[in-house]
Amino acid sequence: MYVKRERSPSLPPPRSEAGVVGWLRANLFSSWPNALMTLAGLALLLYSLPPFLKWAVIDANWLGDSREGCLPPLGDAAGACWVFIKVRLGLLMYGFYPEAERWRIDLAGILLAAAGGQLVAGSLLRAATGRGRRLTGLFPLAGVLLSLALFGILPGLVACAYLAAPDILARARPGRLLLGLAHRPQLHLAARLGLAAGAGAALALGFGAAGQGLAVALSLLAASLIFIALGAYGQSAASVRFSLLLGVYPVICYALLLGGGLDLPLVDTDNWGGLFLTLVIAGVGIATSLPVGILLALGRRSRMPVIKALSVSFIEFIRGVPLISVLFMASVMLPLTLPAGMHVNKLLRALVGVSLFYSAYMAEVVRGGLQAIPRGQYEAAEALGLRYWRVMRLVILPQALRLVIPGITNTFLGLLKDTTLVAVINLMDILGILKSALADTRWLGFTKEAYVFAGVVFWVICFGLSRYSMLLEKRLKPGRN
Amino acid sequence: MTDPARARLPQRSLLTDPVVRAVIIQIAVFALVAGVLAFAAVNTAENLKRAGIASGFGFFNQVAGFDVSQSLVEYSRASTYGRVFLVGLLNTLLVSSVSIVVATVLGFAVGLLRLSGNWLVSRMAAVYVEILRNVPLLLQILFWYIAILNPLPGPRQAMSLFDTIFLCNRGLIIPWPVFLPGSWLVLVAFLLALAGGAGLVLWARRRQRLTGKRFPAYVSSLGLIILLPLVALAAAGFPIRWDLPELSGFNFAGGLTLQPEFTALVLALSLYTAAFIAENVRAGIEAVDKGQIEAAHSLGLRPAPTMRLVVVPQALRVIIPPLTSQHLTLVKNSSLAVVIGYPDLVSVFAGTTLNQTGQAVEIIAITMLVYLTISLAISLFMNWYNARVAILER
Amino acid sequence: MAIPDDPIIRIRHVNKWYGQFHVLKDINLTVGRGERVVICGPSGSGKSTLIRCVNRLETHQKGTISVDGIELTDDLKRIDRVRREVGMLFQNFNLFPHLTVMENCILAPVWVRRMPLLEARELAMQYLTRVRIPDQADKYPGQLSGGQQQRVAIARCLCMSPKIMLFDEPTSALDPEMIKEVLDVMVDLAGSGMTMVCVTHEMGFAREVADRVIFMDGGEILEENTPEAFFSAPQSERARLFLGQILSHAQMGARTNPD
């Protein structure tokens, strides 16, 4: 028999296990092959990194605004010529959007950054205290102040209205009134739809009579605003913000960026370009391919043979061919399929191609999520008396989509990177601009700078997004409060 | 005591009968899709008639009249569009298969390094993956082609590696074997060695079954396969020689010239795809439960057999499906060749041929069909493989 | 502290750290040939870590462990020798899912002991019969119940004819009705004179089979006694508390499961 009466204290580990030496031994030099690998790695680093840094930073030329800034008397020919990029930064960001009108893109960007930033910060600080929540309020505040300072009173007011709307609507009366009148959800929805459509139609007629080019956009804006406003009461401000971002922001952007009325000169999409165009295509692409993808995924799992067959053949067809052939089809064949005299804008064609292509990939991602939901969830939801669409919308899809966040992000990153392919059908995205810039006889030979710059831009966006999605995935793990 | 509301519930109604509903919905959707397609077809026919383009596949026999920079089969300006199609298809298959091999080897290497216990090496592998997969492939193709390969000096100032491999603006020039008469002896020796190696492995297995004694069959048959052809080579008086590239005048003579377009495309496709394959490999190996390794160790298995008998078979089941789909994606991505003028299927057929003939519908349909066929073949292989290796569960 | 006449495992002043965390504090333990030792204690007490050090699945940083006269160091030959003589059972079985039951059993005899395949098969069949599942030999682990899987794992160990068997909570991932079928096999094994070190909470098993019970908490051995003495009169406060919890849980289990 043995009994120990006193407890022994915890001791620190022996010296060789801890500290820098211990770490080096364990991680870099634990064995002979390991040490060799370390040395090989170091050699590769020393061989590649210093020359690159010397070219890109140390010997690089930043000053001046002409080619001379990069040549011997003024600059160093051995270094990168970032002047080349600096001179064209505007083109690379905005394309041929008139310089006087570029503030419209900036305003759209600020609105997105403020509303989106608040949502993103909110999603990461979900469990945060009141202080964290107040911090997220800094985004809209900064957005409004920035718009006021940069663009003047009117744009500032628009920004203020848009950014403050969620908090106001979430507490506003009209929604509550309607809820009281029609407390059955179906009636409520019908009333919202009806009122919104009515207002939209009335406005369209009124504006149309006034001959405004923006008529459709503004009527749409009013209709979606009314629809969201009437349903907003009792919702959280974040969810209203999300609906506004999906339903109202695109219409604002459409009106603001295209213009053609309200003192906003028309800027044809032929002049859109640069990173701005890339983001437009990526934004429209994700906003259409996700919902269409969800429908296709549901269709593929449907018990109705016709629906299933149609969905499967669409998905498999699209996934079997390269995007470039779909883009060719959209740019060459789509005009052929329309009645004579009907034209489709080049950008719209690219958008249709990209969205259709990626909706097939989204469908497969979503299907993976749907398959991962256990049968019991469907059964439990049906046992509660929910019909098909309710089961999907309220029980299955929220879980399934949460499961496939990594897949959705990957697909979106693929989409973002593949927007570069529109350069092949002659749209002026960042690569298109670079191509024309490299053909400029005054600036021949700065190809490395051009592609390294574009690469860095894409890398920052894609890497940032993938890290955000990893964070979000961690936050949303089921079973976490 | 019946509740009046309940009594009013119909026994059966057209509107609430699920079967009727399903039929109505399906008819409606089908009609909509068919309608849109019919509308498009009618318009297309009309538009083509107006443009004076005769539909059909007659253009396959017309003379193409343009040059193609690289071809695996005989081709000239006088060849037909049908020949152009073949040239493009073969070029697509060539660039895809070379890139698939390089990407897979590199991807496995990077994926394994990523898992290595060596901090520096695993970080470097991670950096490789994160940089390469977050930059658009098209950009990478253009970078290699326009920014790296095009500005290279001409053949006279070519960069060289031991004076055997040269890199210049004409492309990558590598040594290539030439087969003189007598080469068949080496081939026969190689085949004999293969057969011998297989026999050795079978014999070693049989002996192991019966006596438990082991023989290093794989290593010795590898030695056989290398040595025997070498012996034959020497015996026959070296009928196979390396044709080394050599500068003559303004260009290289001898060796094999890989055009800059081809080189850039292979580089970009394989470096980009390798980043994704590396992630698949890493995920596959990490998917094997640590307990499996512990169990194997506790049974007395050493690290190498543990890897071969326990970890790899399980990891491969996880790795192969995404790996195949990466290969499939690579084949589809090879169509980006069009931006640097590598004469692949999309470039010479859906590009030049389409522009010259205007047969948009036929050409795009055929192009898509080719890619669909390749995808379908790879998917069928995948399904067969998955069914074969599926781990049985209750 | 009891020192058996013919020791097969000697653990002397063993200390182990995970990073800064001191998991094993000056452990001393000797197990005799043919002895059956049960280690119990609350979770996180270091008991699993301790037995995993015995076949070097974990490395200790201070002190010595020797098994059948071989001291464990970094040397691969020594580790090989020890692992050949020591079988281990895991909480979640760790059968190889891509191999059939038979292939699981013959893997180590063929690759480690260099046994002819046919002989290995015969041996495996013999042990599968002993654990009462000879008819499942060609199935895959995924097709078996948890209890059956754990019995296959026992047969897989026995095929190596180990001198010592380590059990790392072999029944805690099992449903109650399957625990018995595994414990029966373990009791049978104990009857055959196998040296056994079991980390388990099955107090019935400990009473019936163990020669000694070891109680661990916070990375150290607090108490060591015969099962009778330990269960009837635990000496330390911590052990009393632990036994109280285990027993009340067992009673609750007994109430809900009438058999």
**DSSP assignment of A362-387:** HHHHHHHHHHHS-HHHHHHHHHTT--
Whether the predicted pLDDT of B100 surpasses 80 = yes
Whether the predicted pLDDT of C227 surpasses 50 = yes
Report the pLDDT value the prediction gives residue C255, as an integer from 0 to 100: 46
Closest residue on chain B to A332 (Cα): B360
Subunits close to C (at least 3 CB pairs below 8 A): A, B
Report the pLDDT value the prediction gives residue B173, as an integer from 0 to 100: 84
Closest residue on chain B to A317 (Cα): B372
Which residue out of A1, A11, A27 would a mutagenesis test of the C interface target, given it has the greatest number of C Cβ atoms within 10 Å? Answer: A1
How many angstroms separate the first and last alpha carbons of chain C?
39
The token duo for C98 is 């891509």
Report the pLDDT value the prediction gives residue A230, as an integer from 0 to 100: 67
Instruction: Give the strand pairing for C195-199 and B240-243.
Output: unpaired
Tell if the CB–CB gap between B392 and C139 is shorter than 8 Å.
yes
Distance from CA of A33 to the nearest CA of C (A): 16
Closest residue on chain A to C228 (Cα): A1
Angle, helix A346-372 to helix A405-418, in steps of 10 degrees: 160
* Residue range C230-251, pLDDT digits in tens: 988 888 888 889 888 887 766 5
Question: Which residue among C19, C25, C61 places its CB closest to the CB of A8?
Answer: C25
The answer to whether B219 and B247 have CB atoms below 8 angstroms apart is no
Tell if the CB–CB gap between C95 and B393 is shorter than 8 Å.
no
Tell if the CB–CB gap between A4 and C222 is shorter than 8 Å.
yes
Q: Which residues of A touch B347 (CB under 8 A)?
A: none
* Residue range C49-69, pLDDT digits in tens: 999 999 899 988 889 999 998
Report the pLDDT value the prediction gives residue A188, as an integer from 0 to 100: 66
Distance from CA of B19 to the nearest CA of A (A): 10
Residues 6+ apart with CB under 8 A from A54: A78, A79
Tell if the CB–CB gap between B301 and C92 is shorter than 8 Å.
no
Enumerate residues 11 to 40 of chain A having a beta carbon within 8 A of any beta carbon in chain C: 11-14, 17-18
d(CA C239, CA C217) in angstroms, rounded, equals 9
Question: Which residue among B118, B134, B350 places its CB closest to the CB of A458?
Answer: B134
Closest residue on chain B to A335 (Cα): B44
Question: Which residue among B47, B140, B361 places its CB closest to the CB of A340?
Answer: B47
d(CA B26, CA A311) in angstroms, rounded, equals 12
Give the residue with greater pLDDT, B311 vs B183. Answer: B311
d(CA A266, CA A271) in angstroms, rounded, equals 10
Question: Which residue among C92, C108, C145 places its CB closest to the CB of B291?
Answer: C92
Tell if the CB–CB gap between C225 and A1 is shorter than 8 Å.
yes
Question: Which residue among A30, A306, A332 places its CB closest to the CB of B26?
Answer: A306
Spans in chain A with pLDDT lower than 50 = 211, 479-481
Reference C53, options C42, C62, C43, C40; nearest CA is C62
d(CA A107, CA A42) in angstroms, rounded, equals 47
* Residue range B364-374, pLDDT digits in tens: 889 999 999 99
d(CA A269, CA A351) in angstroms, rounded, equals 12
Alpha-helical runs (H) found in A54-181: 82-87, 89-94, 102-124, 130-136, 138-151, 153-169, 173-181
Alpha-helical runs (H) found in B136-247: 137-142, 183-211, 217-235
Residues 6+ apart with CB under 8 A from A439: none
Q: Which residues of A touch C26 (CB under 8 A)?
A: 8
Tell if the CB–CB gap between A8 and C15 is shorter than 8 Å.
no
Report the pLDDT value the prediction gives residue A228, as an integer from 0 to 100: 72
Distance from CA of C220 to the nearest CA of A (A): 8
| Average pLDDT of chain C to the nearest whole number | 88
* Residue range A363-372, pLDDT digits in tens: 999 998 888 8
Subunits close to B (at least 3 CB pairs below 8 A): A, C
- Report angle CA A245, A247, A251 to the nearest 5 degrees: 95
Tell if the CB–CB gap between B371 and A320 is shorter than 8 Å.
yes
Tell if the CB–CB gap between B299 and C144 is shorter than 8 Å.
no
Tell if the CB–CB gap between B310 and C96 is shorter than 8 Å.
yes
Residues 6+ apart with CB under 8 A from A374: none
Give the residue with greater pLDDT, A206 vs C10. Answer: C10
Tell if the CB–CB gap between B120 and A329 is shorter than 8 Å.
no
d(CA C202, CA B134) in angstroms, rounded, equals 54
Q: Which residues of C touch B209 (CB under 8 A)?
A: 116-118
Tell if the CB–CB gap between B151 and A447 is shorter than 8 Å.
yes
Question: Which residue among A2, A8, A17 places its CB closest to the CB of C26?
Answer: A8
Q: Which residues of B touch C166 (CB under 8 A)?
A: 298
The token duo for C61 is 């940083």
Distance from CA of B179 to the nearest CA of C (A): 45
Q: Which residues of B touch C138 (CB under 8 A)?
A: none
Q: Which residues of B touch A421 (CB under 8 A)?
A: 138, 336
Report the pLDDT value the prediction gives residue B167, as an integer from 0 to 100: 84
* Residue range C27-54, pLDDT digits in tens: 999 999 999 999 999 988 999 999 999 9
Tell if the CB–CB gap between A34 and B117 is shorter than 8 Å.
yes
pTM: 0.84
- Is residue A374 within 8 angstroms of chain C, CB to CB? no
Q: Which residues of B touch A337 (CB under 8 A)?
A: 39-41, 43-44, 47
> Would you say domain B81-151+263-389 falls under CATH 2.60.120.620?
no
List the beta strands (DSSP E) in chain B.
159-161, 165-168, 171-174, 176-179, 240-243, 246-248, 251-253, 256-258
Tell if the CB–CB gap between C98 and B391 is shorter than 8 Å.
yes
Give the residue with greater pLDDT, C95 vs A171. Answer: C95
d(CA B50, CA B42) in angstroms, rounded, equals 12
Q: Which residues of C touch B306 (CB under 8 A)?
A: none
Question: Which residue among C111, C113, C114 places its CB closest to the CB of B213?
Answer: C114
Whether the predicted pLDDT of B323 surpasses 50 = yes
Report the pLDDT value the prediction gives residue C256, as an integer from 0 to 100: 45
Report the pLDDT value the prediction gives residue B15, as an integer from 0 to 100: 64
> CB atoms < 10 A from the CB of B14, how many?
9
* Every domain of chain A and the residues it spans: 273-481
DSSP A133-152: HHHHTHHHHHHHHHHHHHH-
d(CA A377, CA A361) in angstroms, rounded, equals 25
The answer to whether C152 and C104 have CB atoms below 8 angstroms apart is yes
User: What's the whole-number mean pLDDT along residues C186-197?
Assistant: 91
Confidence of residue C11 (pLDDT cuts 50, 70, 90): very high
Query: B168 - beta bridge partners?
Result: B171
* Residue range B49-89, pLDDT digits in tens: 887 777 777 787 788 778 787 777 888 888 888 888 999 99
Closest residue on chain B to C146 (Cα): B394
The answer to whether C141 and C152 have CB atoms below 8 angstroms apart is yes
* Every domain of chain B and the residues it spans: 15-51, 81-151+263-389
Distance from CA of C39 to the nearest CA of A (A): 14
The DSSP output letter for C169 is S
Report the pLDDT value the prediction gives residue A480, as an integer from 0 to 100: 41
Q: Which residue has the tokens 């919702």?
A: A235
Tell if the CB–CB gap between C76 and B302 is shorter than 8 Å.
yes
Q: Which residues of C touch A3 (CB under 8 A)?
A: 222-225, 235-236
The token duo for B228 is 């025997």
Residues 6+ apart with CB under 8 A from B319: B280, B281, B283, B284, B285
Superfamily of domain A273-481 in CATH is: MetI-like (1.10.3720.10)
Report the pLDDT value the prediction gives residue A177, as an integer from 0 to 100: 58
Query: C232 - beta bridge partners?
Result: none
Q: Which residues of B touch A458 (CB under 8 A)?
A: 134-136, 139
d(CA B70, CA C5) in angstroms, rounded, equals 84
d(CA B282, CA B288) in angstroms, rounded, equals 10
Report the pLDDT value the prediction gives residue A481, as an integer from 0 to 100: 36
The answer to whether B313 and B391 have CB atoms below 8 angstroms apart is no
Tell if the CB–CB gap between A13 and C61 is shorter than 8 Å.
yes
Tell if the CB–CB gap between B298 and C86 is shorter than 8 Å.
yes
Whether the predicted pLDDT of B310 surpasses 60 = yes
Tell if the CB–CB gap between C94 and B294 is shorter than 8 Å.
yes
Tell if the CB–CB gap between A45 and B131 is shorter than 8 Å.
no
Report the pLDDT value the prediction gives residue C10, as an integer from 0 to 100: 93
